[in-house]
Amino acid sequence: MILSETLLQQTRIRFPRFEEAQVRISPIEKGGSDRKFYRIQFSREQSIILVKYSREKTENQRYVEIAEFLKAQGIRAPKIYFHDPAEGLIWIEDLGERDLWSYRDDRWPVRRAFYHSALEEIGKLHRISGTDSEEIRRDLPAQFDADLYLWEQSYFFENCLGRQFGVAPAELQELASLPALAETAARLARFPRVLVHRDFQSQNILLHDDQAHLIDFQGMRPGLAEYDLASLLYDPYVNLQESERAELIQFYQTTAEATDPAFREKLRLCAMQRLMQALGAYGYLGLVKGNKAFLAHTPAALVALGKILAATPGLETLHRLVSQLPQT
């Protein structure tokens, strides 16, 4: 209650025209984020979002800079109204509550248009030239390189296979040492990089006026476009049919002019990496941070990962283990 009153006071200072309004503040639940989100309602028609972030995590401090960069590049994202870095507060545009995930049970013709809008926006990010992104790149986190891909693999072995499923340390070490995993990290690290969102999944895409807007982009960094594509099309939160996924891949290739002969290989390997990262996160957030809801997404992610491992030479032993894990 004290925190809410403090945040309201801070808001009235920045927005004095609403000083006399009957302002209401309500928290917004936001997945595994360490930030706190609040909707501040001035009237039925007017509201804004207040973000309270920890200044200890450097990526949080980049949110405003990246948001303004995206706007300058014509990519839809929330407007920044005011930023107080000393207090770790950001007042941003309220784009509503409907994210892409909210439409997961709608008919495909409805969802297709929203996915197309999302892919068009992320395609704009991927096509930003090195010259136009030179300045912003200086302030971004470490690029996707072999070490980061290996870290994602380690995160999976430690928190999913080890922590969640109790696989013995010796077996974990043997599986993590498979040459095909190190080769995957090295292979992906050799391709040219573009700017990527880093967490481009259904809950980080808001639909406002039927148009996709990107949120939670503070982890943006140089990487492979296929990683973003895999994050959306192999999203464990949503059950995409194979035909739907294939249609969206074709749409992205056409609109983003993705003509690289290695596109399909990169997408498959990026999907493996992304699913490993997601499974590691579910185990960590569910068992270390106590947010058990994340564990419910493990079965879908394991099924998707198993299919990719089955098509990847050199990972047969890992595929056998994953396919034998309990799916409930």
Write out the DSSP string of 136-150.
Answer: HHTTS-----HHHHH
Whole-angstrom Cα distance, residue 69 to residue 55? Answer: 21
Structural domain count, the chain: 2
Dihedral sign for Cα atoms in the order 215, 216, 219, 225: negative
Single residue among 74, 93, 112 that ends a domain in this structure: 93
Same domain, 241 and 258: yes
Q: In this predicted structure, what is the pLDDT of residue 314?
A: 98
* CATH code, 83: 3.30.200.20
Looking at every residue in the chain, the average pLDDT score rounds to 93
Identify the residue with better confidence: 100 or 11. 100
Same domain, 312 and 233: yes
Whole-angstrom Cα distance, residue 234 to residue 250? Answer: 15
Q: Assign 328 a pLDDT band (cuts: 50, 70, 90).
A: low
Identify the residue with better confidence: 15 or 140. 140
Whether the model pTM is above 0.85: yes
Same domain, 185 and 277: yes
Most distant CA pair in the chain, distance? 66
Same domain, 53 and 145: no
Same domain, 275 and 127: yes
Whole-angstrom Cα distance, residue 157 to residue 151? Answer: 10
Same domain, 89 and 114: no
* CATH code, 289: 3.90.1200.10
Identify the residue with better confidence: 18 or 102. 102
Same domain, 25 and 147: no
Same domain, 266 and 311: yes
Give the pLDDT confidence of 252-275 residue by residue, as tens digits: 999 988 889 999 999 999 999 999
Same domain, 28 and 80: yes
Q: Assign 8 a pLDDT band (cuts: 50, 70, 90).
A: confident
Q: In this predicted structure, what is the pLDDT of residue 197?
A: 98
Q: What percent of the chain has pLDDT over 90?
A: 80
Same domain, 262 and 319: yes
Same domain, 65 and 166: no
Domain of 182? 100-324
Q: In this predicted structure, what is the pLDDT of residue 32?
A: 62
Same domain, 263 and 165: yes
Q: In this predicted structure, what is the pLDDT of residue 22?
A: 75
Single residue among 67, 93, 119 that ends a domain in this structure: 93
Average pLDDT, stretch 58-66?
A: 85
Q: Give the per-residue SS3 of 208-223.
A: ECCEEEECCCCCCEEE
Q: In this predicted structure, what is the pLDDT of residue 20?
A: 62
Give the pLDDT confidence of 175-210 residue by residue, as tens digits: 999 999 999 999 999 999 999 999 999 999 999 999
Give 36's DSSP letter: E
